[in-house]
């Protein structure tokens, strides 16, 4: 009878340990799934932001080039070129600069 009770107690302990182990595994599994989903969401956010950053950098380069072009064609820049060329007695380059400004 005592052996039977010992075997029953051992079986009960094994079952309790198995249930506890499964409970712990199930809890960690759920947390890992949640963390994986969070990581995927954050990675998607990073990818989206990097894409937006790339677009903004390309736009900045384009606007910078456009600004440089406008500055090169400005009346002040033309006046500087004309004055410099006239001081050097280069009348043809000065004339071309003025004609280029007037033609736009």
65 & 93 share domain: no
pLDDT attached to residue 51: 97
d(CA 2, CA 24): 33
66 & 78 share domain: no
54 & 98 share domain: no
Domain range enclosing 51: 1-70
Q: Token match 């051992």: residue?
A: 10
CA dihedral 30, 32, 33, 36 (to 10 degrees): 160
pLDDT attached to residue 103: 82
d(CA 99, CA 93): 10
Q: Specify the length of the chain in residues.
A: 104
9 & 20 share domain: yes
27 & 66 share domain: yes
The tally of domains found in the chain comes to 2
Per-residue pLDDT of the chain (104 residues; tens, 9 = 90+): 677 777 777 888 888 899 999 999 888 888 888 888 899 999 999 999 999 999 999 999 999 999 988 887 788 888 888 899 888 998 888 888 888 888 86
42 & 93 share domain: no
């Amino acid at each position: 009878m005592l052996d039977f009770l010992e075997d029953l107690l051992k079986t009960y302990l094994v079952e309790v340990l198995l249930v506890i182990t499964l409970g712990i595994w199930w809890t960690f599994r759920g947390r890992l799934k949640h963390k994986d989903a969070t990581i995927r969401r954050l990675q998607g956010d990073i990818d989206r932001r990097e894409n937006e950053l790339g677009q903004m950098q390309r736009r900045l380069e384009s606007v910078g080039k456009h600004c440089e072009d406008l500055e090169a064609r400005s009346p002040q820049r033309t006046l500087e070129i004309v004055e410099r060329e006239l001081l050097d007695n280069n009348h043809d380059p000065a004339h071309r600069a003025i004609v280029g400004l007037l033609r736009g």
